[in-house]
Structure 1
Amino acid sequence: MSDQNLTPPTDTKIQATASPLRCLIGAVISGGMGYALYSLMIAIATNFAAKPLHSINPLVIKISSAVRTLVVGVVALGSGIFGIVAIGLLALGVQLLMQQLSKQKSSEN
């Protein structure tokens, strides 16, 4: 068998340009996902707190405590990342809007 490329290479490169509207839509989507993950994190943490561990083995208690912390931490990390992305997209949208307004103002003069 030879290592031939079965798909023909395409030379068309489509680059999407950023616009304030696209940034705002992305920020709303990312913020919504961040809020959903935050709500999920609160629900998981509340569920873990409502159901204590029933074991006398210290190793089981330590491992289950570590797993619970890891689960809540991973969901919190995802929530934080989506929140930071939403803030960044919102700031980029404001920056692009200011640049467009300054271009229009300079072209009028």
Structure 2
Amino acid sequence: MSDQDLTPQTETQAQILPTVLRSLTGAVISGGLGFALYSLMIAIATNFATKPIHSANVLVVRITSAVRTLVVGVVALGSGIFAIVAIGLLALAVQMLVQQLTKPKSS
């Protein structure tokens, strides 16, 4: 017995072209997520700073410090990535706008 599909699958996905509106919408969404993650990072860092580590064991203090640093670092990385994506989408929107304005009109 063979496991061949009787219906051939064709890859006829229409390529969606970028537009200024889509770029600006994506930039707003990405910027919003970046700001939300930045606010979360500040809240987490403030929370960690107000609650000191209560232990006499050096290993516990080091592991706790490492975990706190990793948590704040991962959230900061996510915030930075979303901010960079927002800046890139804004630049793409500006580029497309300039191209549309400078393109000669054909009749």
| Shared fold per TM-score greater than 0.5 | yes
User: Number of paired residues?
Assistant: 106
Pairwise CA distance, 1:22: 0.5
**Deviation per residue, 1:1-42 (Å, 9 max, x gap):** 855458851331211101111000000000000000000000
Structure 1 residues 39 and 13: CA distance shift in structure 2, 3 A: same
Does residue 107 (structure 1) correspond to residue 105 (structure 2)? The answer is yes
Residue equivalent to 1:66:
66
Residue equivalent to 1:24:
24
Equivalent runs, 1:1-109 vs 2, <5 Å: 3-5=3-5, 8-103=8-103, 106-107=104-105
**Deviation per residue, 1:51-75 (Å, 9 max, x gap):** 1100000000000000000000000
Q: TM-score, normalised by structure 2?
A: 0.91
Structure that is richer in helix per residue: 1
Amino acid in the other structure paired with 1:42: I
Amino acid in the other structure paired with 1:49: A
Q: Secondary structure of 1:13's match?
A: coil
**Structure 2 alignment gaps of length 5 or more:** none
Distance 1:57 1:6 in 2: 66
**Structure 1 alignment gaps of length 5 or more:** none
Q: TM-score, normalised by structure 1?
A: 0.89
Distance 2:16 2:35 in 1: 27
Amino acid in the other structure paired with 1:84: I
Runs of at least 4 residues of structure 1 off by over 3 A? 1-8
Taking only aligned residues, the RMSD between alpha carbons, in angstroms, comes to: 1.8
Q: Secondary structure of 1:93's match?
A: helix
